[in-house]
Amino acid sequence: MVVVYDGYGQPDAFRVSGRVLHDSGRTPEGAGDGAMQNLVRTMADLDSREVSRVDLTVTIAGVSYSATSDSDGMFQVRVKGLLSASALPVGPVPVEAVLVVGGAVGRGTLHVVPASGVALISDIDDTVMKTWVTDKGRMAQTVLLKNGAQVEAVGGAAAAYRQARVSGVDAVFYVSSSPQNLYPRLRYFLEHHGFPAGPLFLKNLGDDSLLAHDSYKLDRLERIAADVPGVRFVLVGDSGERDPEIYREFRRRHPARVTGIIIRLVPGSKHLEPERFVDFVTVDDVWPADANVLDMMPTPRRE
């Protein structure tokens, strides 16, 4: 089977990737699934079998590109310098990837961001999804025994993100340290709970260390910033792990490109000292009703 990850870019350049896997017969997730059914599905996701060195045709906005899966089953189409006549429209653009031999089809979306504007970059665990990262036992139960329909979303987060899109945020990017094997589960969670669609960045354990956190997230932030020049960012994370320190470092490197930083204060998390959140906007566990991300920022939303 062909899995197409949501891509991103600007009218003159874009990046789309995906993965070719042996079909595991994965069943759709449902709110009534039992713990054992969820465990079997999760273990099958984690034990995926990649298909390497196969050719694909990837079609975007009527143009076909060639790609080949690598040793991890990964493929990518990256294009720069599209002429104005070939420029992509801002907004969602359908993507179709087809195996040259066998004909298996995968579909996804390329999110095209304007040459200037504002994007929201969000963590997932304990920022939008209650994963209980600070309680390893509870986290393991949540990850292994619940599916995307059953995991609880952070109160008010989906509504706040939707309001952000309505109010002028041009795109939403999701960055997590979870392995990309969990892509179907996390994508379903976001859709099921009404979060705006957007690219989802996860670890490729063939390339990314399972234990690396700061360096991994900073790398993904730098990649997004390089791929969408001219775009400024609202960064949203939580207090449970290292989001405040990572975001502060990214802002130090790119002060003109960070409009603001929002941190959810996770109940029971350590290190809630006020100095950790200086110059940040904080959300006390649940997002306030009718929250508007842009209005929460300390700097003007547009230059």
* pLDDT, position 30: 82
**Which residue from 228, 38, 31 is spatially nearest to 143, judged by alpha carbons?**
38
Domain 2-112 has CATH 2.60.40.10: yes
Q: Quickly state the pLDDT bin for 303 (edges 50, 70, 90).
A: very low
Q: What mean pLDDT value characterizes the chain? A: 89
On the question of pLDDT at 207 being above 80, the answer is no
On the question of pLDDT at 226 being above 70, the answer is yes
* pLDDT, position 302: 40
8 A C-beta contact, residue 52 and residue 67: no
CB-based contacts of 212: which residues, under 8 Å, 6+ apart? none
Complete DSSP assignment for 2-53: EEEEEEEEETTEEEEEEEEB----PPPP-TT--HHHHHHHHHHHHT--B--S
Instruction: Mean pLDDT check: name the lowest of 28-32, 132-136, 164-168.
Output: 132-136
* pLDDT, position 201: 95
**Which residue from 141, 149, 122 is spatially nearest to 27, judged by alpha carbons?**
149
For the domain made up of 117-296, give the CATH fold.
Rossmann fold (3.40.50)
Q: Quickly state the pLDDT bin for 144 (edges 50, 70, 90).
A: confident
Considering the chain, what percentage of its residues have pLDDT values greater than 90?
Answer: 63
Q: Quickly state the pLDDT bin for 132 (edges 50, 70, 90).
A: confident
For the stretch 149-192, pLDDT in tens is 889 999 999 999 999 999 999 999 999 988 888 898 999 999 99
Compute the average pLDDT of residues 1-28.
92
Q: Does residue 139 or residue 228 have the better pLDDT?
A: 228
* pLDDT, position 48: 82
Q: Does residue 212 or residue 129 have the better pLDDT?
A: 129
Residue type, position 298, single letter? P
Q: Please state the domain extents for the chain.
A: 2-112, 117-296
Residue 13's alpha-carbon distances to 112, 199, 202, in angstroms, are: 9, 15, 22
* pLDDT, position 209: 60
* pLDDT, position 191: 95
Question: Could you tell me how far CA 114 lies from the centroid of its own chain?
Answer: 19
User: Which two three-digit tokens encode residue 94?
Assistant: 């359908």
* pLDDT, position 37: 83
On the question of pLDDT at 42 being above 90, the answer is no
Q: Quickly state the pLDDT bin for 237 (edges 50, 70, 90).
A: very high
Q: Does residue 86 or residue 217 have the better pLDDT?
A: 217
Residue type, position 243, single letter? D
* pLDDT, position 300: 42
Q: Quickly state the pLDDT bin for 128 (edges 50, 70, 90).
A: very high
Model-wide pTM > 0.75: yes
